[in-house]
Structure 1
Amino acid sequence: MKYLVMVQGTQADYEAMAGKASEHSPAWSEQEIQAMFAHMEAINNDLAETGEMVDAQGLTEPAGTRLVSAGADGRPVVTDGPYGETKELLAGYWVLDCESLERVTEIAARVAQCPVPEGAPDYPVVIRPIQEGC
């Protein structure tokens, strides 16, 4: 079965990774960034080796986000992000083809162990089964 495994973040998290601390998160050092990338690369390599990886992507900062909705007149309404009313947004994802929910949960637990600076926010890793055949 296929699963979407998602990690979350905020604009402040992206800014912290770029070296700008806030009340939300301390600034990340270059060593901390490299440790995060090494952790994620090891997971990606292992998933590619087992054949469970379908796709994986990190997303750019929410400031580059655009929301498109239908206006009352049916014409599109376009808003640039980030959005003050939204806390966490999708920061990256994996599409995995795993034998069971237990297996994908093991993988998500490994993702959740990603090293972060002391005082950085901790977000859950979200698992969503992908409906097939639609």
Structure 2
Amino acid sequence: MNEMKRYYTEEHEWVMPIGEDQVRLGITEYAAKELGDVVYVELPEVGNKVSSGDEIGTVESTKSASVIFSPVSGEIVAANEELEDAPELVNEGPLNEGWMTEIQLANPDELAELLSEEDYTALVAELEADEEEE
């Protein structure tokens, strides 16, 4: 089975299609590394309707707190409840078991507005270069 395609945001979130007009959402490895040790994750309620750009949750670490924005519009159909007891999963596997929520898309065309893996990789490379210069 070939690797599922992920889409990215400039806020360091990813979405991955997992079914008929449905995506799984989480934060990227870069975001998890920048946050440090995650100690708490607030997830959206299943059944909530969200629009692209809406705040849908929070990730708190020993260093800071970061808002999770929905990169797409739709309905929350699942939340990763394992994160309530094991928020460290976000650090251990942000692209896998550290996923946050699943959304039934209201408009699948919104995925085309997100960054490709290549574009996101270039964005992270720029950010890391800027950090090294500081």
Regarding TM over 0.5, the answer is no
| Largest Rg, 1 or 2 | 1
Structure with the higher fraction of residues in strand conformation:
2
Which structure has more relative contact order (CA 8 Å, sep 6+)? It is: 1
- Tell me the TM-score normalized by structure 2: 0.29
